[in-house]
Structure 1
Amino acid sequence: MKSAMKGGIWAMSAAGLLGLGACMEAAMPEAADGRALFMDYCAACHGPTAVGNGELAADLGIKPADLTHIAARRGGDFPRAEVLSMIDGYARSDMTGPGMPEFGELLKGDEVPLDTGDGILTPTPRKMVALLEYLESIQQAK
């Protein structure tokens, strides 16, 4: 009886984990979610097509980066962790002049597990992941 009970609990636990995994997978942000965020937070400088020609670009003194060739500039690999660091401001702490603003709003809200390429799932704000997914989806070969 005990072994049947343990087997039943094991089966229910496994089914629950599979169900949780399916929910997490379905809840992950997609590129379309990130496009809307890009238009709200980034397009004024980087332009609606992300090539660095936004309406405010001429007033910045520094041309905003072309975000469609990030991977091409790095040998074809999209540097997920580096891009996240640029968006959240961590990699921009030593910039002088009118660089990218900090987007604290993108750091708010729920988190999702994200592998930035090191095989480790790290809790990351959903909006940041959505924007990352969008940027990765618009990469072009040079």
Structure 2
Amino acid sequence: MRQTLLAVSLTAIAMFGGPQAQAQDAGIGGGIYAQYCATCHGIDGTGDGPLNELMSQSAPDLTKLSEANDGVFPMLEVIHIIDGRTGLRAHGGPMPVYGRVFDEEHGTTMQGDVSAVLETRGRVLSLAMFLESLQQ
């Protein structure tokens, strides 16, 4: 079973790795952030977006994630919060599950097409990398 999974993974990387690898960068993450996150978290990530005043719980300051984690950016936790599949919910729950949002843009779920799954994961990683670049 492991050999089959490894073979499928390597094939997927060979077939789809090029474009997805390019999609995983902070520059692309900045565009994703502007489209999906800035309305609550603010353009600069400090939590002062225009929709924040309508929320029951304020959006956190995303520029201080490393500071709150002993100077280390909590990449995996951030990915889990963005992706929303771990049960960990930011803001107590009102934040959209962007893994699902990105999947639905492709008309698939994480169980679906390998290229769509890789695209969704690449977008989540790009967004997390952008957030890492905002740290003060």
TM-score under structure 1 length normalisation: 0.65
**How many equivalent pairs are there?**
107
Instruction: After TM superposition, list the pairs within 5 Å mapping 1:1-16 onto structure 2.
Output: none
Instruction: Measure how far apart 1:111 and its partner are.
Output: 1.8
Cα distance in 2 for partners of 1:105, 1:78 equals 24
Instruction: After TM superposition, list the pairs within 5 Å mapping 1:117-128 onto structure 2.
Output: 125-128=121-124
The correspondence for 1:111, drawn from 85, 95, 118, is 118
Q: Is 1:40 the equivalent of 2:35?
A: yes
Cα distance in 1 for partners of 2:117, 2:30 equals 18
Bigger proportion of residues as helix: 2
Q: Is 1:66 the equivalent of 2:61?
A: yes
Q: Is 1:130 the equivalent of 2:126?
A: yes
Cα distance in 1 for partners of 2:90, 2:34 equals 24
Against the structure 1 CA distance between its residues 28 and 37, is the aligned structure 2 distance closer, same or farther, given a 3 Å change threshold?
A: closer
Residues 49-89 of structure 1, C-alpha deviation per residue, up to 9 Å, x if partnerless?
11000010001021100001100111111111100111122
Instruction: Measure how far apart 1:101 and its partner are.
Output: 1.6
Bigger proportion of residues as strand: 1
TM-score under structure 2 length normalisation: 0.68
Q: Alignment RMSD, CA only?
A: 2.7
Aligned to 1:56: 51
Cα distance in 2 for partners of 1:136, 1:94 equals 19
Aligned to 2:92: 95
Q: Which has the higher contact order (CA 8 A, sep 6+)?
A: 2
Amino acid at match of 1:136: E
Instruction: Measure how far apart 1:28 and its partner are.
Output: 5.3
Amino acid at match of 1:111: L
Instruction: Measure how far apart 1:106 and its partner are.
Output: 3.0
Cα distance in 2 for partners of 1:67, 1:106 equals 21
Task: Give identity over the alignment, percent.
Answer: 31
Q: Is 1:76 the equivalent of 2:71?
A: yes
Against the structure 1 CA distance between its residues 68 and 93, is the aligned structure 2 distance closer, same or farther, given a 3 Å change threshold?
A: closer
Please list every run of 5 or more consecutive structure 2 residues that lacks an aligned counterpart in the other structure: 1-13, 107-115
